[in-house]
Copies of this chain bind each other. A is one copy, B any other.
Amino acid sequence: MGANSADSLSPVVAADHPGVSELFAVLACGEISAFYRLADDARMSPTMAGRVALARMAGAEMRHFERLESALTDRGLDVYDAMAPFVTPLDDYHASTHPSTWLESLVKAYVGDGIAADFYLEIAGRLDPSVGAVVREVLAETGHSEFVVHEVSAAVQASTKEKDRLMLWGRRLLGEAITQSQYVMAQREALTDLVLTASGDLNGVAALFDRMQQRHAERMAVLGLV
């Protein structure tokens, strides 16, 4: 049986599990990838305030990258070697979810980060505390989401057409995120074993994805996308 609430259970993944380094590496690669995606998307901002908001989010991603880099270095690994297997799947995710408007880029920053955070934070509860602490630290809310919530909810209140478009967009982001995470899992045995161990079994993984879908819906609602 899968774990219904991973956080309430004790750690089951040891600090020396071979998937831990892969977990840090995929997170590090995600931070760099998000940094450049945010910097790119900022071009679409109609205002300087929008450009600054995205630069702030990108700056937070870099601080998290540096935390992961030192965690990998502490484990005797080179951050670039460790990240190499994850570059293509993350590039593919971003290529398949390339925003065509400023609002799409804001929804992606908010919803995409949220999906990733849900996944990793669920797992963090079952990892050795020293490992879980790093994961929580780099996924901590960076406090920059109010800008996104304010901009998007104002826009969708003003336009039903915009709202319909962005609801479809949110669904696509969730679908692509799940597709790419399954692709990563299929390639990386140690990471897959870590996720399976943390979730209990395959039913546990399925329950985790169900909870992620539920939280995705809640997040869309915060943006006025219901």
Q: Which residues of A contact B (CB under 8 A)?
A: 32, 35-36, 39-40, 42, 47-49, 51-52, 55-56, 58-59, 62-63, 65-66, 79-80, 83-84, 87
Could you tell me if A59 and B62 are in contact, using CB atoms closer than 8 angstroms? yes
A sample of 28 cross-chain residue pairs with beta-carbon separation below 8 angstroms, ordered by A number, consists of A32-B48, A32-B51, A32-B52, A35-B55, A35-B58, A35-B59, A36-B39, A36-B42, A36-B51, A36-B55, A39-B39, A39-B40, A39-B58, A48-B83, A48-B84, A48-B87, A49-B80, A52-B65, A52-B79, A55-B58, A55-B62, A55-B65, A56-B62, A58-B58, A58-B62, A59-B59, A59-B62, A59-B63
Question: Which chain B positions have C-beta within 8 A of A83?
Answer: 48
The chain B residue sitting closest to A39, CB to CB, is B39
CB proximity of A14 to chain B, nearest CB, Å: 29
A65 CB, nearest partner CB in chain B, Å: 7
| 18 extra A-B contacts, CB within 8 A, seeds A32-B55, A35-B39, A58-B58 | A32-B52, A35-B55, A35-B58, A35-B59, A36-B39, A36-B42, A36-B51, A36-B55, A47-B80, A48-B83, A52-B79, A52-B80, A55-B58, A56-B66, A58-B59, A58-B62, A59-B59, A59-B63
A42–B58 Cα distance when bound, in Å, is 14
B residues less than 8 Å from A32 (CB atoms): 48, 51-52, 55
Q: How far is the CB of A85 from chain B (nearest CB, A)?
A: 12
Pick from A35, A51, A80 the residue with the most CB of B within 10 Å.
A35
List residues of chain B with CB within 8 A of the CB of A80.
Answer: 47-49, 52
C-alpha gap A63/B49 in the complex (Å) = 16
Chain B residue contacts of A62, Cβ below 8 A: 55-56, 58-59
Shortest distance between the CB of A206 and any CB in chain B (Å): 34
Residue from A39, A42, A55, A83 whose CB has the most chain B CB atoms within 10 Å = A55
Please, which residues of chain B bring their CB within 8 A of the CB of A51? 32, 36
